[in-house]
Every structure is written in C-alpha cells, then in structure tokens.
Amino acid sequence: MHSGSHIQSDDRLERAALEPIVRTGAGFYALAGVLSCIVALGVYAWCRQLVYGMEVTGLNYPVFWGIYITNFVFFIGISHAGTLISAILRVTGAEWRRPITRLAEAITVFALMVGPINVLFDLGRPDRALNIFKHGSFHSPLLWDVTCIGTYLIASITYLYLPLLPDIALLRDRGTRHRFLYRFLAMGWSGTEKQKRALEVAIGIMAVVIIPIAVSVHTVVSWVFAMTIQPMWHSTIFGPYFVVGAIFSGIATLIIAMAIVRKAFHLEEYMQPLHFNFLGLLLLTMSLLWFYFTLAEYLTTFYGQEPSHIKVLQSKLTGPFAPCFWLMALCCFGIPFPILAIRKTRTVSGTVLASVLVNIGMWLERYTIVVPTLSHPRLPWTGAIYHPTWIEWSLTAGCFAGFTLLFVLFGKFFPMLPVWEIKEAEAAETARKAQALPAAQPM
C-alpha cells in the first residue's frame, strides 16, 4: 500500500530516533559523569546546610528569601515550555509542532521535578515538610502552590506518557535493550484502530485540560508574592506578568534544548531552521509582551511616588540592584528584540543566542523581584546586603545539572522524536496528495 519512498523515509525516521537509545557513546558517559559530579556537590552542600542550619546561607534580616526562591520561580517558569508548544499548538492544529512536542513535554516534567525541590532547600525544617498536608491551611498562598503544582506535575507526566505509548511499543518490538521495561510501560499497545482512537481522545482531553492548569500554576506562584503587603510585591499585575515571563523563558529553554538535541543526535532533517524561525517569532512576541508588562509595572510604581515603593524601585534603577536590573532589561528585551525581529538574524544560531540571553534575563528578573523588596522593609533597618554563599551556588548548580541529567537520561531511554506522530503526518500528507490527484482530473 505504501509507496517505496514512504517506507524509506519511515525507516530513516526510526533509525534517527532510535539510534541514540541503541548506541551509547563515550560522550554520553562523560556528560552523565560530569553532571552527576555537580549533582553530588549539590547534595554535599545540602547536607552541610541540614547539619549547620540556614546559617551557611547568605540570608539574613531582612532578606529571608534568596536564590532558592529565585530558582523555584525560574524552574516553574520554564516548565511552561511543554504546555504552550505542545498543548496550544496541538489544540490549534499547528502541524509544524510535531517533531518538537516530545522535547517540550519532557522539559515541563523535569523542570517541575527540580523546581519545587528548591522550596525544600529553603525550609528551615525540611523534615516537617509534610505538615503542609497534616495541618495545611488554604489561607496561605503556599498551599495554593502545593495544590496547583502537584496537579500540574501529575497532569504533565500523563501528558508526556500518553503520546509516548506508541513509541514505547515500537521500542518493545524493535529494540534489544531493556525489553522488560518497555513491555511493562507499553501496557499492551498494539496499534489497533480502536487503541489509536482512544489515544487521540485521551491526548485531546489532556491538551485542553493542561492549559488552564499551567496558567493557574504560575499565577499562584506570583500570588505568593502579590498576596503579601510588601512594597512592589503587592501588585495586581503579578499573575499575568509571571505567566508571560514563564512562557517566555519556557520557549527559550525549548529552543536551547532543540539546538542541543539536534546537534547531538543528528536530527537536522527533522528540527529544521523553520522550527527555529517559528519559535523565534513566538519568542519575539513574548519578549514584547514581557516588555509591555514590565513597563506597566514599573511606570505605575514610579509615577505613584509612594515612599515605601519608591525606595525599592530606586534600589533597582540606580541602587545596589541596578546592575542586575539593567542586565535583565538588556537580556530580556534589548538584545533579543533586534535579533528576533530581523529575518536575517532569526537563524538557528541567532535564536539560540537570544534564548540563552532570555534565560539569563529571566533568572535575573526573578532575583530582582524577590530580593530588593525584602532588602527594603517599611520600617528602617540597618540594611544588610545579601550575598549568596557557595552553598547556595552549589545547590543552584546542582539543580541545573540535575535538570540536564534527567533530560539526558530520558534521551537514553526514550526517543526524543515522536516517531508515530511524524509518521502520521507524513501518511496524511501522502493521502492528501493521492486524493488531490484524481480530483483534479475532469470526470
């Protein structure tokens, strides 16, 4: 039934997608080794913190939250990659999404695993973390966080797993390693019409359900700050501002991950400059939105001239946080905007450069939201300066390494390309062409 070229392209696709799973090079071991070492350093740092208490951090009065909370907000932010690309593009039927949905969904799950760990780092008594369930109070925005992030994690694991099913079955049938694992995970998938229909329905439902969950997640993360009465935290704009920032950094992370996977797994044929162009356009849109929200937020504060607020604002514009603030503005808007706006520079390397800058900028944005407000309480304080210690930096490095490691290991066990979804698109394309030809002939 299939044309010869079709079978050939299917074979090539399978080979490209399964090659990294079948063959393990020295590069993989080297990378996994280095990443594990960084994670181990983070574990050592956390052990020290558990033994000596929060004394080992740079936190003090009145800066009670530092880069742990910054990391938490940042990672929850990049978890929005999966939702946007995969769910929104699936719902709107954007065909070009197909080769990159798996990557996006994986980023979501791993960012959601790493992000909340930072809250544990930040707790004075992590051993009592389960009190949240025993004595939980829905008065507290922190419990809203627990609820929404928990739901999002379960939903996004499901959303990663469902489209993986046919590919796991493919591995079970074709692969040679870990057959037991794949047989278990494939849940008896055999690719019948009935199963396919059920899967389509399930993915369709999840794609719709996961969008409001994702929006709620970053909204309540922002409400942790906005619900307080502290200057420049207590802002009604924070919900949408954080959601926009989250999608912004999520797309940037996806572009970086795409470029790396494309290079490492030789997937140039599937992840084309076209994808970087489209995602670059999305990134450009989010950059403009981010700029609009930032301007709205800071201009209203500046114009109001309320003393407690203006104190915080000044520390950001001209004070000790000015380098962070202006670097953020450059990284989130100043440099990426022209790169992404000009078609000539919106290339693979151009979008990757912009994405790296955006991620640096968004981390700095989270930092300049968390720390300056705390440094300037309403009542005068001697005003300590917060300098993160090596313990905090090690844990941060550990988080980034852990995130990458999870990603690398995922790539070792599962195909980074959604094989069946690409096949499906190709089959549909062939069918369309076949149908179009006879229709063109006059009856």
Partner 1 sequence: MAQEDKKPQDGEQAKQGLRRLIVTIFGSLLAAALLPLKRHAAVRTKEAEKPQVPERYLPKWGMVIDLDKCTGCGTCMVACAVENNLPLQNRHDMEQERVIRWMRLLSLSLSDGELPNGKARLMPLCCQHCDNSPCIRVCPVRATYKNDEGMIAQIYPRCIGCRYCVNNCPYTCKFFNWREPHWPDPMDSALNPDVSLRNKGVTEKCTFCHHRLLRAKEEASAGGRGVKNGDFVPACVEACPAGAIYFGDLNDHSSKVAQLLKHDRGRVFRMLEDLGTEPKVYYLMEG
Q: Does 140 bind partner 1 (CB under 8 A)?
A: yes
Residue nearer to partner 1 on the CB measure, 86 or 373 = 373
Footprint of partner 1 on residues 188-247 (CB under 8 A)?
A: 188-190, 192, 194-195, 198-199, 202, 224, 227-230
Residue among 7, 47, 150, 427 that touches partner 1 (CB under 8 A): 150
133 or 303: whose CB is closer to partner 1? 133
Q: Which is nearer to partner 1, 125 or 344 (CB)?
A: 125
Q: How far is the CB of 165 from partner 1 (least distance, A)?
A: 8
Q: Which is nearer to partner 1, 215 or 252 (CB)?
A: 215
CB-nearer residue toward partner 1: 126 or 319? 126
Question: Closer to partner 1 at the Cβ: 68 or 278?
Answer: 68
Of the candidates 4, 323, 380, 438, which one interacts with partner 1 according to CB under 8 A? 380
Of 250 and 372, CB closest to partner 1: 372
Closer residue to partner 1 (CB): 136 or 175: 136
Binding window for partner 1 (CB under 8 A); candidates: 105-113, 336-344, 371-379, 432-440: 371-379
Instruction: Verify binding: residue 187, partner 1, rule CB under 8 A.
Output: yes
Give the burial class of 113: count Cβ atoms within 10 A of its Cβ; 0-12 exposed, 13-18 middle, 19 or more buried. Answer: middle
Shortest CB 135 distance to partner 1, Å: 4
Nearest CB to partner 1, comparing residues 122 and 258: 122
> Rule CB under 8 A: is residue 119 a binding residue for partner 1?
yes
Count of residues engaged in binding partner 1, rule: CB under 8 A: 59
Residue by residue, what is the 3-state secondary structure of the chain?
Answer: CCCHHHHHHHHHHHHHHHHHHHCCCHHHHHHHHHHHHHHHHHHHHHHHHHHHCHHHCCCCCCCCCCHHHHHHHHHHHHCHHHHHHHHHHHHCCCHHHHHHHHHHHHHHHHHHHHCCHHHHHHCCCHHHCCHHHHCCCCCCHHHHHHHHHHHHHHHHHHHHHHHHHHHHHHHHHHCCCCHHHHHHHHCCCCCCHHHHHHHHHHHHHHHHHHHHHHHHHHHHHHHHHHCCCCCCCCCCCHHHHHHHHHHHHHHHHHHHHHHHHHHHCCCCCCCCHHHHHHHHHHHHHHHHHHHHHHHHHHHHHHHHCCHHHHHHHHHHHCCCCHHHHHHHHHHHHHCHHHHHHCCCCCCHHHHHHHHHHHHHHHHHHHHHHHHHHHHCCCCCCCCCCCCCCHHHHHHHHHHHHHHHHHHHHHHHHCCCCCHHHHHHHHHHHHHHHHHHHHHHCCC
Please list, in sequence order, all residues whose beta carbon lies within 8 angstroms of the beta carbon of residue 4, skipping any fewer than 6 positions away: none
Per CB under 8 A, which region of 6-14, 36-44, 182-190, 263-271 contacts partner 1? 182-190
- Residues between 27 and 66 with contacts to partner 1, criterion CB under 8 A: 52-55, 59-62, 64-65
Q: Is 73 in the site for partner 1 (CB under 8 A)?
A: no
Here's the x/- map for partner 1, 382-411, by CB under 8 A: it reads as: x-x---------------------------
- Where on the chain is the footprint of partner 1 (CB under 8 A)? 52-55, 59-62, 64-65, 119, 122-126, 128-129, 131-132, 134-143, 146-147, 150-151, 154, 158, 187-190, 192, 194-195, 198-199, 202, 224, 227-230, 374, 377-382, 384
